[in-house]
Every structure is written in C-alpha cells, then in structure tokens.
Amino acid sequence: MLTVRISPELDNTLDEICKKRRLTKAAVIREYLERARFFLIDHSSIKSFNENDLVLLKRRFFKSLISNFDEKKQIELGTELARFINDLARLQGKLDDVSFKLDLCEEYGLFPKFIDKENYILITKKFGPERFVEAFIWYLITKGDKGDFDKEFITEELEDSSKLMKKYKETIQPVRRDASHFAFEFAKVEDKK
C-alpha cells in the first residue's frame, strides 16, 4: 500500500476529474499511474521512454497538418512515426509484439486499438490520409524487414500505371472491412491458441 500526501488544489482537481469521469479517486489515480508505463513526466515536459520530448496536438489538427503534405512526404512521415513506435517497443523488448505496439499507438493518442473478429487491425480514417496510414502500418508491422513503403505508391503514379497498381495491390493488399477504417492483409494479428 502506498500513501501520498497531496495539496488541497490537487485534491480539488482530482475531485473534478472524478465527477467528470464518474470514477473513484483510486481509479483515476490508478489510470494516471498506468500512464507511467508509456510516458516520462518531467517538471517541464512530457517525454517518451527513449527521452524524446513530446508535444500534444488535437487529433484533427494532426491529421490536417499531415494532409497538407504531398503523398511522398506523407509516406516519409508515416514511416518515421512507425519507427518511433517500434523504437519504444524495442526498448521494452516487445518489437515483435503487435498488440503491445497497438497499445502504444492508443496510449499516444494516434488511434484506438481495434481488431475485428477476423483479426484484421482496423485503423480509423481519422488517423490520417491514406498514404500516411499505409506507410505507418507497413513499417509498424514489417519493422522494415520488407523494406520501406514504396514511395512510388502515390495516387498519381498508381493511376498512370496498371503495372504499378498491380504491384501495390499485391504488396499492400488493401482490404475493405468497413467505410470508416483502413485495413490491410499484411496487418492482421495472429490467433493466440
């Protein structure tokens, strides 16, 4: 058991959070302490486990920023963000644990962890534009073992070349699961039997 003294102001803040979320103080405190598995909170910043300073952005603003870039840059940014998540998983010895990496994505506010009954990872379209999401998931799942996401897989190039479109469909294997999520054949979790 742990006992901690807190200031009256912090106690009032906790009370407000408890009322808003309809939770007990113990549950709220437990949730905040759980976050310590994913973040380092310094007096002046929030950091990832690999000591990167983090910035909080509204999800809609983040998607808007990414959408302003051309598709090649979106692919680069998606790959870079997936590298970051993979690095965090590697630090925990869980690089091959897709479920853990999806937990990281959820904890970092990227997208909710959602796996359908057929084990497809469903990524909300609110996360970002198509090429950004494809590159992110490609690198997150393959860890770069199958190379980076091909920068030729941009809409303009795909529309101009049936050969490239065929390569894209064979490699990325987009799957339509529902209208509000992206899904890919390569991005499935294995059944744990």
- What local confidence, expressed as pLDDT, does residue 125 receive? 95
Contact between residue 149 and residue 75 where contact means Cβ atoms under 8 Å apart: yes
- What local confidence, expressed as pLDDT, does residue 50 receive? 77
Q: Say whether 164 sits in a helix, a strand or coil.
A: helix
Distance CA 68, CA 74 (A): 9
- What local confidence, expressed as pLDDT, does residue 192 receive? 56
Domains of the chain, by residue range, sit at 8-47, 59-182
Contact between residue 94 and residue 102 where contact means Cβ atoms under 8 Å apart: no
pLDDT tens for the chain, residues 1 to 193: 778 888 999 889 989 999 998 989 889 888 888 877 777 777 778 888 778 788 888 888 999 999 999 999 999 999 999 999 999 999 999 999 999 999 999 999 999 999 999 999 999 999 999 999 999 999 999 998 888 899 999 999 999 999 999 999 999 999 998 899 999 999 988 765 4
- What local confidence, expressed as pLDDT, does residue 43 receive? 74
Q: What pTM does this model have?
A: 0.84
Share of the chain residues as helix, strand and coil, in percent rounded to the nearest 5:
50, 10, 40
- What local confidence, expressed as pLDDT, does residue 94 receive? 94
- What local confidence, expressed as pLDDT, does residue 134 receive? 96
